[in-house]
Structures are given as C-alpha cells and as structure tokens.
C-alpha cells in the first residue's frame, strides 16, 4: 500500500511538472534563450564545466546560470564572480530541480538580454533524470574516477540526455575506466547521444563541447 | 501550494518509516546481527568497500549484504561471487532505501546465522540521509576525486553519519582535495564522526576501518 500511494503522487507531480516545462520552453523560444540542464553525480565537475563554458563564450554569448543547491552558496559565488547573472535555488532537502522551481527563478533574469541559460542541477544521477525542467537540452557529466559501470546502474539518466560529457580525462589511464567500453555501453542505451571527453582541469576537449553547444543553439533557433 | 503538499506527504512517510526502523533494530538486536547502512555518491567505492570488508572479515564474521540498485545486478553478482548471502533490492526509480524495503529483504536471510549485515544504499548523497533503515550505524564514503567541498553542499549526509570513509587516497596528492581542510569542515558539522582515510584499490587503511567496525559491533552487543 505504501508504495502505491507514493507512485500515484509522483505521477501527478510529474504530469503537472511537464505542463509547466512546456510553458517554460515556449517562453524561452519567444525570447531566443537557449537553456541546458546540466546533471551529474556530486563532484563530477558541474561547476567547473559551467566556469569553463562561461570563459569560452565570453563576449560572444550573454549567459545566465541557475544554481541548484541544497543549502550552500559556494557554486553561485564562483559563477557570479565571473560577472554572470546567477540565481541560487535553495531546495531545502529536495534532490532534484523541477519545472516550477525553474519557472520561479526565470522571473529574476532579464531574459531579453540573454542568449543562453545553464541550469546546474543537484548532484544526483537518479531523480533529476525524471524531471523536464523546460530546457532545450539535457546534458550529463560522468567522470573517469567514478568508473565505467555507472551506465549500468543509472540507466535512465544516460537514456534521457542529449550529450554526455566525460570529465577528468586527465586521470586516464585509469584501471577502473575504459573509455571505449564505457562509450559502447552508453550507445547501447542511447544511440544518438553525443559523447564529449574533456578535462576541465587542463582544458583539453573543452572547445569541442563549446562548439557543439553553439551549433545546437543555432539549429534550435533557425528561422 | 505544490511544495506544501509534497512536504506533508514526506513527513508522513518519514514517520511511518521510523516506526519500522525501530522494529527492525529490535529484531536485529534479538538475533545479535549488527547492521550498517553504507551511503555515498555513485562511483565513490561502495561495492569495492563491501568486497574489501568481506575479504577482511572472512572466517571471523558471518556476513550478509543487501544491495540497493535501481535496476542492475552488477554489484550483487560481485558480492555473491564471494559466497556471501546477498539480497538484491530493485527500487525501480527510487533514489534511496527505506525501512519497509529493508524489512522485506530481511525475511530472505537466515538471521540466526549472521553476525553482520551491510546495506549498500543507492548512490546518492541527498535522500538516503533522511531515512533510518533500522541499521546500527550509518557510514558514508567520500572519495578524493569528488573534491573537498562536498561537505558544504550535502551537509545532512555528513551530519547524520557515524563514520566517514575517505576513499581513493591513492589519488593523493590532488589539487582539488586537501584532507586536512576537508576533515575540519566535516568536524565543524559533526564533531563525533570517525574519519577513516583508505584506498580500496591498494588496501591502505582498510584494516583501520575493519577494526573500527569490529569494535563498534562488540560495544553494541556488550552484555
């Protein structure tokens, strides 16, 4: 009985969530703002990737960042220090961001002046995969030290994403991570995913990611 | 309104959960079974630690393992290959284990023949921290490549645990991880936590963890 109750509530929440997500995407399309939802385990490198992306797109794109965190400001402070408009979302105990939370934070931005918004989701490979936040793209990071079996254990996240960033390739070679085996496992689940190996620490591969992002934004807003 | 609904449901679930957890602990005490709830991010080394612990306690303790996973068998197969009774809990999409799930899996073990049960929780630093599973100890793993700021971002997990294993110390020195700063941040939140640095890969420090575990079991069941 307990389980059935929980599942019903979840379904109702997901359906409400999806309605809000559709509205958000319409609003962003009208304003020409391209939004990506960045998801990963704790410590995989979400904030580092946000900082590298800001650096690479400086002067070309006007960016904004939505920082999801349970209760600290550490990530928001790092991003804001680069002069990028940042909204910190404190979720209390919630382990994911949903569309209503994103809708509330959008009111804090001057959307007309933005080209791209990055959501840094809560560090979690489970629940964030289930919630459409209204973004145009879902991007996940998996990092070399986490091991190449994560795709077997958190399949939904790998299935729903448009791109998979493989961060911390500066740790390679590593006996727990075979990039070829890992990529094959991921493509078995999600044949169309873009796999982008890089290192936020030494910068290797960051250009490929940024070029892919720019291309996807251009395609989305083709007249 | 949405948020208030969700919080009420959560409170009701947590209260039901805690009642079941108390019953589980009584049952385990009657049988002399010491249970630990092992929690961590994906890829921090939960399964590796379970395997190392089994190896170290072989012939001394009779062990059982409850493997929480969303839908694979990879961890349970590794553990079971060592001849240890293993129950695989498939949670579907749930991002944590709760006391009713543990209660159901306990019926699959011959408890009278066990000294110690290890729960390998879902890889997640958020929700598992909120649920008492009926274990005697809560133990978390944080790994060097995750960075030393995780304690600021997932404070509840670090606050509720009895021990913190710092895994992958074979990656040290690492510019993103200062063990002294990390330990200080953890102790500011939780002064009584036992901090145990180790490497499942090369075995360094594993004895300290196993000795601590044995001591805690003996203390719990003193006549």
- CA atoms of A176 and A148, how far apart (whole Å): 7
B92 band by pLDDT with thresholds 50, 70 and 90: confident
* Closest A-chain CA to B76: A153
Residue B139 near residue B165, CB atoms below 8 Å: yes
Mean pLDDT over all residues of chain B?
92
pTM confidence score: 0.91
- CA atoms of A66 and A80, how far apart (whole Å): 11
What residues pair up with A69 in beta bridges, in sequence order? Answer: A90
B152–A123 CB contact, under 8 Å: no
Check pLDDT > 50 for residue B6.
no
Q: What is the pLDDT of residue B8?
A: 46
Residue with tokens 């939004």: A35
- Token pair recorded at residue A149: 């079996």
B94 band by pLDDT with thresholds 50, 70 and 90: confident
Average pLDDT for consecutive 10-residue bins of chain A (223 residues)?
40 84 97 98 97 96 92 87 92 90 94 97 95 98 96 95 98 95 98 98 98 97 85
Q: What is the pLDDT of residue A1?
A: 34
A153–B100 CB contact, under 8 Å: no
| Cα dihedral A164/A167/A173/A177 (nearest 10) | -50
pLDDT-wise least confident of A25-34, A195-204, B20-29, B89-98: B89-98
- CA atoms of A85 and A110, how far apart (whole Å): 9
Q: What is the pLDDT of residue B72?
A: 80
What residues pair up with B118 in beta bridges, in sequence order? Answer: B36, B65
- CA atoms of A42 and B40, how far apart (whole Å): 10
pLDDT tens digits, residue range B38-66? 999 999 999 999 999 999 999 999 999 99
Q: What is the pLDDT of residue B13?
A: 72
pLDDT tens digits, residue range B148-196? 999 999 999 999 999 999 999 999 999 999 999 999 999 999 999 999 9
* Closest B-chain CA to A146: B43
Q: What is the pLDDT of residue A90?
A: 86
Nearest chain B Cα distance for residue A84, angstroms = 21
A150–B100 CB contact, under 8 Å: no
Name the residue among B103, B104, B105 with its Cα closest to residue B26: B103
Q: What is the pLDDT of residue A217?
A: 97
Residues in chain A with CB shorter than 8 Å from the CB of B72 are 152-153, 155
Name the residue among B146, B189, B194 with its Cα closest to residue B167: B146
Q: What is the pLDDT of residue A70?
A: 81
The larger pLDDT score, comparing residue B4 to residue A101, is at: A101
Check pLDDT > 70 for residue B118.
yes
A69–B122 CB contact, under 8 Å: no
DSSP letters, A59-128, are TTS-EEEEEEESS--HHHHHHHTTT--EEEEE-TT-SS--HHHHHHHHTTS-GGG-SEEEEE--S-SSGG
B6–A16 CB contact, under 8 Å: no
B145–A43 CB contact, under 8 Å: yes
- Token pair recorded at residue B178: 């200062």
Chain A residues with CB under 8 Å of a chain B CB are 2, 6, 9, 13, 16, 41-43, 69-72, 74-75, 93-95, 100, 122-127, 130, 143-147, 149-150, 152-156, 168, 171, 175-176, 201
Q: What is the pLDDT of residue B12?
A: 67
* CB-neighbour burial class of residue B178 (10 A; exposed 0-12, middle 13-18, buried 19+): middle
Check pLDDT > 60 for residue B79.
yes
């Amino acid at each position: 009985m307990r389980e059935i109750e929980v599942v019903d509530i979840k379904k109702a929440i997901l359906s409400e969530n999806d309605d809000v997500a559709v509205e958000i995407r319409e609003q962003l399309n009208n304003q020409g703002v391209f939004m990506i939802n960045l998801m990963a385990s704790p410590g995989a490198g979400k904030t580092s990737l946000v900082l590298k992306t800001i650096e690479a797109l400086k002067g070309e794109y006007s960016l904004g960042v939505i920082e999801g965190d349970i209760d600290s400001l550490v990530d928001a402070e790092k991003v804001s220090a680069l002069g990028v408009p940042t909204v910190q979302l404190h979720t209390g105990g919630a382990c994911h961001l949903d569309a209503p939370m994103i809708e509330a934070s959008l009111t804090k931005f001057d959307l007309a002046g933005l080209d791209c918004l990055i959501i840094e989701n809560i560090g979690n490979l489970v629940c964030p995969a289930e919630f459409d936040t209204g973004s145009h793209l879902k991007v996940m990071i998996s990092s070399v030290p986490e091991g190449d079996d994560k795709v077997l254990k958190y399949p939904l996240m790998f299935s729903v994403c448009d791109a998979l960033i493989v961060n911390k390739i500066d740790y390679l070679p590593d006996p727990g991570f075979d990039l070829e085996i890992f990529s094959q496992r991921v493509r078995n689940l999600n044949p169309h995913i873009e796999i982008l190996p890089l290192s936020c620490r030494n910068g290797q591969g960051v250009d490929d990611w940024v070029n892919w992002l720019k291309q996807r934004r251009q395609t989305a807003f083709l007249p």
